[in-house]
Each structure stands twice: as structure tokens, then as C-alpha cells.
Amino acid sequence: DSGGTSVPTIPRYMRVNLIKSSVESTIESLQAEDWEFVGKFRQDEVLFEVQVNVLTNASITLSLSLSLSLSLSPLAPVQASCIPAHALSPTPGSSVIDSCAAPGNKTSHLASLIRDDGRVIAFDRDLKRLGTMTRLLGTSGATCVELIHQDFLTVEPSSADAEDIQYILVDPSCSGSGMLHNQTNGASSDVSMDRILTLKRFQISILKHALRFPSVRRVVYSTCSVHRQENEEVAEEVMSQVADEFRFRKIFPAWEGSRGLEQFPHSEFFLRLSPAQDLTQGFFVACFDRIPTGVDQTS
């Protein structure tokens, strides 16, 4: 329930497309256009690579991030929709599925993270949204993406094409109740509980399907919903069914901002972002890692 929360002004965010540029050269270009660099690079740990803030004379604040722009401070700005691809962190050369891909923001981020080296197979069942995605991807320079118009639930996990998939992103349709414009116009409260529970059933089935791929090492689940039914309840219910094979990976252990709702057993493994606390959209992320064979699951 986000009722009564005033929506703060959140910064604008940019992500550097590492296929086309680097953070250093992007900063140089911005400085050449009279943006003043007021931030600093930070390499506190591998995942926390850089946080840069630049100001214009007109006092517009722009937070420019490398592939990852999380700060260790809960009040520092983060771009929530960049978190799922980072949590998945596919390595260059790997095979990745974006199961619910259109319009492709996270697909292009995944392609950037693997430096366009490997495969990103992007599914969506909505042809119109795929059309938008084709245009957006065209500007990204990514050549490693295969766009497929197909319901991901009909993709056979043991098919020859799917058996080497190591990473899967599941960013399914959700109520969108965390989107700032929905919070401002009250739309989040307009979503009926029936609709939320229908979405929850779909989200559980698509997440479970992703976990059936034989070589998958990591699956990240994300929504822009504020409802526990679409977030913690989905993650916990699915984990209760796959706990012999998977465990939660704590997302960004150094993150001091909000975690999952405390009444859930694995709340500290999740990320739950809110405009008021984290200066970002409402967002939820959970990460499933396959337990390596031979590892004692109780340890």
C-alpha cells in the first residue's frame, strides 16, 4: 500500500551503452558540452563501479552511471530498472534469455553487460511492443540479440536451442503500481485484488518455467509493483517449490536501502525500492541461483 506517500522529485538517469561508449569518454563528452563533473568514481566493490553526478548551469541534476550506479547510501539515486540486469550479471560470451522483453530496456542493458559478445534471446508475445523494441534496439548497436515473437511459456526448456541457456531475466507483466505516474494519479489503488491475484498466478508460472531450463545458473525476477502479492509472495512460493535446486542470492549485499517486507522469511535477500526512500520508482527484485552440485544445501 503506497497510500498517502508523497512522491518526491527523482533525478533523471542515464545508462552508458558499453557497446558504443565508455563511462570515461561519456564524461569527457559531457564536460565538452559544459556539464560540470561533481561526482566521483567509486570502486568499493566490483558491483559498485561508478557514481557520477553532473550539473548544468540551469541546476538540472543528471546522475550518470556506468553499467551499475548503485551507491552504498540509501538516499543516493539509483535507476531501479537497471538493477535486474545487474543482478543477473551475465558474463561476456554467455547465453541469456530475456523472457518478457519488450520494449527492450533490459534487453539492451543485458547486451551492453555482455559487451555484445554471446547471445541474448528476447521473447515477447506482443507484436506491437516488439515493433517498438526493434526500433529501440536498432539504435543500441547490439548485434547479439535475437528477437522472437513467442509466448515464453511455450518455449521448451529441453529443446536444443535452449539447453545451453545460463541466465534468464523474468520481468513479467505486473500491475505497474510502482510507476511514479501511477502513484501520482492514484492508479495503483485502481487495480483490483482480483487482477493482482491473476497477475500473481501468471508471474508464478512464468518464473517456474524459467527455472526449468537445464543449464540455467541464475534467474532474476523483477516487477515495478508495490504489491506483496506480485513480489515477495511470488518469490517465496516459487522458492518453496524449487528449494532443492535453487537458493536466493542476496542482491547487492552492501545495499543499505529497503529490502523485502519483513514478514517474509527471505526478506533480506530481496530489493524493494520506493520513491520516498530510494528516490526511484517502486521496484522489486529477487534472484535465484542454482545450487552447485555437491554443495551441502543446509550450510
Site residues for ligand SAM per CB under 6 A:
100-106, 123-126, 129, 151-153, 171-173, 206
Shortest Å distance, C-beta 173 to ligand SAM: 4
The length of the chain, given as a count of residues: 299
Q: Is 77 annotated as a binding residue?
A: no
Nearer to ligand SAM, 30 or 87 (CB): 87
Per the annotation, the verdict on 224 as an active-site residue is yes
Q: Is 294 annotated as a binding residue?
A: no
Report the residue closest to ligand SAM, judged by CB.
100
Establish whether the linkage from the previous residue to 74 is cis, with ω within 30° of 0: no
Q: Is 151 annotated as a binding residue?
A: yes
Shortest Å distance, C-beta 250 to ligand SAM: 23
Report d(CA 78, CA 63) in Å as an integer. 8
Report d(CA 206, CA 34) in Å as an integer. 47
Q: Is 296 annotated as a binding residue?
A: no
Nearer to ligand SAM, 179 or 239 (CB): 179
Shortest Å distance, C-beta 156 to ligand SAM: 14
Active-site residue identified among 82, 144, 174, 224: 224
Nearer to ligand SAM, 171 or 233 (CB): 171
Nearer to ligand SAM, 54 or 106 (CB): 106
Report d(CA 103, CA 135) in Å as an integer. 9
Binding site per annotation, positions: 100-106, 124, 151, 171
Question: Any idea which residues carry the catalytic annotation?
Answer: 224
